[in-house]
Amino acid sequence: MERTDLHEYQNYCVDFLKTHPEAMLILEMGLGKSCISLTAILDLMFDSFDVSKVLVIAPLRVAKTVWPEERDTWEHAHFLKMSVVVGSAKQREAALKAPADIYVVNRENVKWLVDFLEKRHIPWPFDMVVIDELSSFKNHQSQRWKALRKVRPQIRRMVGLTGTPASNGLLDLWAETYLIDNGQRLGRFIGRYREAYFKAAGMNPYTGVVYNYVPLPGAEDAIYSRISDISVSMKALDYLDMPECVMVNHYVDLEPSERELYDAMKKELLVELDGETIDAANAAVLSGKLLQMANGALYNEERQVKVIHDQKLQELSELIEQANGQNVLVAYWYQHDHDRIREHLKEQGYEPRDIKSDQEIADWNAGKIQVGLISPGSVGHGVNIQKGGHILIWFSLVWSLEMYQQTNARLWRQGQKEVVTIHHILTRDTVDGDVLDALKHKDTTQQNLISAVKAHLTI
C-alpha cells in the first residue's frame, strides 16, 4: 500500500503527531494506529529531522509481528530500519545493538531495557517513544510504569496509542497521562488527583482503606478538558465501513439444589460441596468464586475442580448447533471452563481447537476450525482472525472492559464481510448479570471520554 492510500482521518492524525510532541491517539480497533505512527515517524525522522531514534513499546505478539508487518505493508515506510528487541537476554542485547531507526520492545521488558542502559552508563538513546496500548501502563505501581517514568524527562516526543484509555474508570487516566505529559495536566501525584476529582465510595471499616472512588460532580468534564489539547479520539463507526454487530443474551437457570449452593456461597462466604468446605476469604475472592459457580464448576483450595452444573454447556451446544456448520469462537476465562468445554464438545462430536499459535490462527482464518476456543488474556491485541468466522460466544465473562472489547474486536473489525453476532451465556440471577452491567457502565465512561476529545473532521 502507498501513502496515497491513507484515509483523510489518518492524515489528520499524522499531522497531529507531528505538531504535538506529547500526544494521545484514542483510536478504536481497526483505525490504523500503527500506520499512522509509522508515517509520522518517517516525516519526523527524514523530513523535519526532529527525531533520530524511536522506541516502540507494545504487547509481545504485536511487537514481534504487527509492527514489522505494518512497516512492510506500507511502501513509504518500507525502508525504515526496524529491530525487534524480544527473546532471550542475549537476543535482546543483540537487537538493541543492531543499527535501526525504530526499536520495538515488548512491555514486559521495559524495566530490563532501562536497567540495561543504566548499568552500562549508556545515555538514553530514544528521543521519541510510542506506547502501543497505553492502557497497559495504567498502574502507577507497576515496574514497567516506574521504569518509564524514570527516563521520561529524557524523552522529547511521547505518543500513547489506545482504544480504551479508561477501561476501568477515570482513575486509570492519571498514570497514562503522566507518562505522556510528565504530570503537567492531571498533576504529579495520584493522591492529589484523587482528592481533586474523586470521593470515596467504599471503605474497609476495620482498616480505613478506601477501595472504591467515584468522580465528583463535574469531574469528568474537568478531566477531559485538561487532556483535550494533547488528545485526538475517533470511533471506528464514524470513519470505517464496519459490519453490523448484534449482541444477544441467553439465560440459563440453576436447579434448586444448584441455586442453594450458589446462595450459600454468596451469603455465608462458604459452601459445602462433596463433603468439603470451600470458602471465600474476601469480596474479591468471593466474586471469582461466584463467577466460577455461575459457569458450572469451582476450584477448591488444592486447585481441584468441583463440578456444580452443566447448564451453560448445554446452552453452548445448542448455540453451536444453531450455527448450522458456521465457524464459532468460544471465549472462556477459567482453565476448568476450557477443559469442561473441550470435553463436552468432543462428546457432542465436535473437534474444538485452541486459537493461540500462528498455525492455529492461520487454520482458523482458512476456515479449517469449526469451533475455536480463545482466552481473552491471550488473544487480544494484534490478532487478526476476522476472516475465519463471525460468531463469538462468551461462555465466561470477564470484568476487564479492555479484554472484553479487544476480544470482540477480533471478529468485529474492518475486513469482516458478515454481520457479527456476539452471544453471552448468562446464568440468571447470578454475578454474570453484575459483570455485564459493569462492562456497560465502564463503556459509558469510556464513550464519554471519547466523545469529549473527539476529532470533528469533515470526511
Domain ranges of the chain: 3-240, 245-437
Phi/psi class of residue 382: alpha, beta or left (left: φ > 0; alpha: ψ in -120 to 50)? Answer: left
Range 382-404 average pLDDT = 84
Mean pLDDT across 137-148:
96
The share of the chain scoring above pLDDT 70, in percent, equals 94
> Mean pLDDT, to the nearest integer, of 287-305?
87
Alpha-carbon 207 to chain mean position: 32
The torsion angles phi and psi of 366, rounded to 5 degrees, stand at: -85, 0
Residue 397: pLDDT over 80 = yes
Residue among 43, 41, 16 at smallest CA distance from 27: 16
**pLDDT band, residue 382 (cuts 50/70/90):** low
Given a cut of 80, is residue 336 above it in pLDDT? Answer: yes
C-alpha cell at 309: 452444573
Q: Is the pLDDT of residue 239 over 70?
A: yes
pLDDT band at 457 (very low <50, low <70, confident <90, very high): low
For residue 379, pLDDT over 70 is answered with no
Question: Cell 473441550 appears where?
Answer: 342
Q: Which CATH number fits domain 3-240: 3.40.50.10810, 3.40.50.2300, 3.40.1190.20, 3.30.750.24?
A: 3.40.50.10810
Structural fold of domain 245-437: Rossmann fold (3.40.50)
> What confidence score (pLDDT) does residue 459 get?
45
Res. 263: pLDDT tops 70: yes
- The pLDDT of residue 19 is 97
pLDDT in tens, 412-423: 877 787 888 899
Tell me the whole-structure pTM to 2 decimals. Answer: 0.73
User: For 18-65, what is each residue's pLDDT tens digit?
Assistant: 999 999 999 876 788 999 999 999 999 999 999 999 999 998 878 988
When the pLDDT of each residue in the chain is averaged and rounded to a whole number, the result is: 88
Q: Which residue has the higher pLDDT, 377 or 297?
A: 297
Which residue matches cell numbers 494521545?
24
Q: Span 154-182, mean pLDDT? A: 91
Model pLDDT, residue 381: 53
